Structure 1
Amino acid sequence: MLRTARAVTALLALGITLLWAPAAMSATTLTVAQAISGQSGTGTVRGYVVGEPTATSTVRTSGFTGDTALALADSSTETNTANMLYVQITTSYRSAFGLRTNPGLMRTAITVTGTLTAYFSHPGLKSPTAMSKGTTTPPADDYYAAAAGKSGAALKSSLHTIISNGMTKLSYDAVWNALKVTDQDPANAANVILLYSGASRAKTLNGGNAGNWNREHVWAKSHGDFGTATGPGTDLHHLRPEDVAVNALRDNKDFDTGGSAATGAPGNYTDADSWEPRNAVKGDVARMIFYMAVRYEGDDAWPDLEVDNATTGGSAPRLGKLSALLQWNTQDPPDAAERNRNQIIYTSYQHNRNPFIDHPEWAASIFG
């Protein structure tokens, strides 16, 4: 009987071990750093797409030539290839994850499962069995890491550095085509949405004639006299499509509430020195102005742009009215279209973000 009891006990113990073994072996998602240091077996890795590897120490970040490989990193702004994992993209995933076909994937997060083994004689992942897209907005501990825990002037200074470093500047001509992407009508891919009027208009109708749309500088370019030269005059974060006549009617006015109905732009109002946009974009306008005042601080050959609480016009690098803009930022929080536009500018054009779209609460901390 004793031997039988011992045998039963042993079998029960073995059964318990077998029962719990799968749970102990359950897969966990690896960071890129973990995948680089553990090059064996199968693994699931999450990271940011940072380029197209073409050789052991070479990764393209633009002008992509193929859809067969991508590089992942734990930071969306990583440039050191030693901190990258090279991922093979097999045929079934190339249409969705190849960078030549999908350049907008740059700096977005993806999760991939496959064999952890060298690729291009570099730590890699090959023969993927699953690939999926994750969140596209860099988390606070990534893009905005240097701003964590700061407020007021310190926060403004930190954000200025973050959104200035690595920014790609467009020519004024290049803005035309960029706006056709950033402001595309989600209901009609052949059109753009005009900022103030909200109208949908054919992309092909860009120009300077009646019925055309042109490039509206939300921070009026005469407020600082920066014109249309590459820099603040071509910064997509405050350039939007607008009807030629409505753009002329807004002119270089500051922003404030009140006035008479604006011709051609339902829901907008204007008087001698100010413009009130329609409710649906009041917050958008405010956050564009806040971005400009943080991005351009007078340390890179451009004027130091500041938001003030007046509607004074003129060529001084100031724009108002601060009290109205702060109210609009709260009244009209970022929506999906505004967040998507911010992401497109970040991934496909300028490679910087408008922090007040990601964190609208920062406006009160800096300007309140």
Structure 2
Amino acid sequence: MKKSSKIFVLLAVIAAIAVSSYFTVSPRAATLSVTNAIKTQNGSVQTVEGYIVGKPISASSIQTSSFSDDYALALADSPAEKATGSMLYVQIPSSFRGSFGLKTNPELIGTKIKVTGSTAAYFSHPGLKNVTAMSISAAGELPEEPEEDTGSTPTPSDNYEGYYNSASGKTGEALKTALHEIIDDHTELSYSAVWDALRHTDEDPNNSNNVILLYTGRSQSKTTNGSGVDSWNREHVWAKSHGDFGTAMGAGTDLHHLRPTDVSVNSSRGNKDFDDGGTAQKEAPDTYADSDSWEPRDEVKGDIARMIFYMAVRYEGDSGELDLEVTENVNNGSAPLHGKLSTLKRWNELDPVDDFERNRNEVIYQDYQHNRNPFIDHPEWVEVIW
């Protein structure tokens, strides 16, 4: 064969490969139905398609009108579905609330959408969290049905087998008492020792030289603690004046409710109770306050609720300690009370436990106090007790 013929053949082969590659269709990632998403609660990232049927308010109930906020959706395979057991609860991140939240967009009820996120429990119910994409579905397009994935994500109790055995099967005051007995006796720190402990418990997972500040979410050097305007200090989430326990060992130094915060933001919070509403704060624009209450950024609402509930169980008035209780009132002054109960219960549902909270709980348990916050391990116990 002549050299020119060989070159022609080679060029023809290359062209054929290029054409073949151009027209090759990549396999489309499977879209889960709601039914399959409910079965696939293993923390994997999935795209789920279903109809918006309401807004979750508990593990067993949804709102279908007069929506209270834009934080969540309930999806089902049928727009007429009424059984919450056949629904998937979707946590809506702030970036999508304006477009898909039902308080802002009630007309979306019955609309078919696609959502991409991690299959994980929300409101103690099969759910989808850490959402990265949301879109309206094309009319008539049906989801594919991949094989069932029976994998499971370990629950927190897998890491401390037996810790809550004595609370098993209890409800109401009996559960509260059992949990108190479990977490009551722990190692107490001095107030000066809290500085170093917070550098460990609240370390920025992306920068080991920094801590994350509670109300602003700012990552800041561990060494910038103090009293300066932009320094961080030790915030008592259960305001220390609510019972006048100050900084004494015990309630005053309990790491489960002490967090690093910006000095001036901490001062603005003062001893306010927790509730919705108010004016945006200059240094923490996602935080709101009025004369008697404080609303933190969405990302830590649940953290704060679970810290308050911990304090109400840990400090029950025995051994000469205060009896701290959660109340429906705000503006509680020096009484050993903290509110607002209904708001804190809702925040516990709206902002589920995340990895930062779990890690913090583990560090306090393993390295410092040797007790746990039960409501990080079992957030569903809030409703069982209160």
What TM-score range do you get, normalising by the shorter chain? 0.5 to 0.7
Q: 1:341 aligned to 2:364?
A: no
Say if 1:363 and 1:193 are closer, same or farther in 2 by CA, change over 3 A: same
Superposed counterparts of 1:142-221, under 5 Å: 142-165=162-185, 167-221=186-240
Q: Which amino acid aligns with 1:324?
A: T
> Any idea what the Cα deviations from partners look like across 1:124-170, whole Å, max 9, x if unmatched?
xxxxxxxxxx99755675000000000000000000000013x1100
Deviation at 1:312, TM superposition (A): 2.0
Instruction: Give the conservation status (yes or no) of the 8 Å contact 2:156–2:377.
Output: no
Measure, in 2, the Cα distance between the counterparts of 1:215 and 1:326. Answer: 25
Deviation at 1:300, TM superposition (A): 2.1
Q: Which amino acid aligns with 1:161?
A: E
Measure, in 2, the Cα distance between the counterparts of 1:340 and 1:266. Answer: 27
Superposed counterparts of 1:29-68, under 5 Å: none
Q: Which amino acid aligns with 2:231?
A: N
What is the TM-score of this pair, normalised by structure 2? 0.59
Say if 1:192 and 1:139 are closer, same or farther in 2 by CA, change over 3 A: closer
Measure, in 1, the Cα distance between the counterparts of 2:215 and 2:255. Answer: 16
Instruction: Give the conservation status (yes or no) of the 8 Å contact 1:216–1:239.
Output: yes
The aligned residue for residue 254 of structure 1 is 273
Measure, in 2, the Cα distance between the counterparts of 1:300 and 1:259. Answer: 39
Deviation at 1:313, TM superposition (A): 2.8
Q: Aligned to 1:205, what secondary structure does the other structure show?
A: coil
The aligned residue for residue 327 of structure 1 is 346
> Any idea what the Cα deviations from partners look like across 1:250-301, whole Å, max 9, x if unmatched?
0000000000001211210000000001000000000000000000001022
The aligned residue for residue 314 of structure 1 is 333
Identity %: 64
Q: Which runs of 5+ in 1 are unaligned?
A: 1-133
Measure, in 2, the Cα distance between the counterparts of 1:191 and 1:178. Answer: 13
Superposed counterparts of 1:265-276, under 5 Å: 265-276=284-295
Measure, in 1, the Cα distance between the counterparts of 2:290 and 2:217. Answer: 20
Measure, in 2, the Cα distance between the counterparts of 1:190 and 1:266. Answer: 25
Q: 1:237 aligned to 2:256?
A: yes
Instruction: Give the conservation status (yes or no) of the 8 Å contact 2:272–2:293.
Output: yes
Measure, in 2, the Cα distance between the counterparts of 1:217 and 1:199. Answer: 18
Instruction: Provide the aligned C-alpha RMSD in A.
Output: 1.4
Superposed counterparts of 1:48-127, under 5 Å: none
The aligned residue for residue 129 of structure 2 is none
Say if 1:216 and 1:146 are closer, same or farther in 2 by CA, change over 3 A: same
The aligned residue for residue 88 of structure 1 is none
Measure, in 1, the Cα distance between the counterparts of 2:193 and 2:317. Answer: 24
Superposed counterparts of 1:278-297, under 5 Å: 278-297=297-316
Runs of 4+ in 1 over 2 A off after TM superposition: 134-141
Q: Which amino acid aligns with 2:180?
A: H
Deviation at 1:303, TM superposition (A): 1.1
Q: Which amino acid aligns with 1:254?
A: D
Q: Aligned to 1:327, what secondary structure does the other structure show?
A: helix
Deviation at 1:334, TM superposition (A): 0.2
Measure, in 1, the Cα distance between the counterparts of 2:378 and 2:208. Answer: 29
Match of 2:384 among 357, 360, 365: 365
Instruction: Give the conservation status (yes or no) of the 8 Å contact 1:140–1:148.
Output: no
Q: Which runs of 5+ in 2 are unaligned?
A: 1-153
Q: Aligned to 2:223, what secondary structure does the other structure show?
A: helix
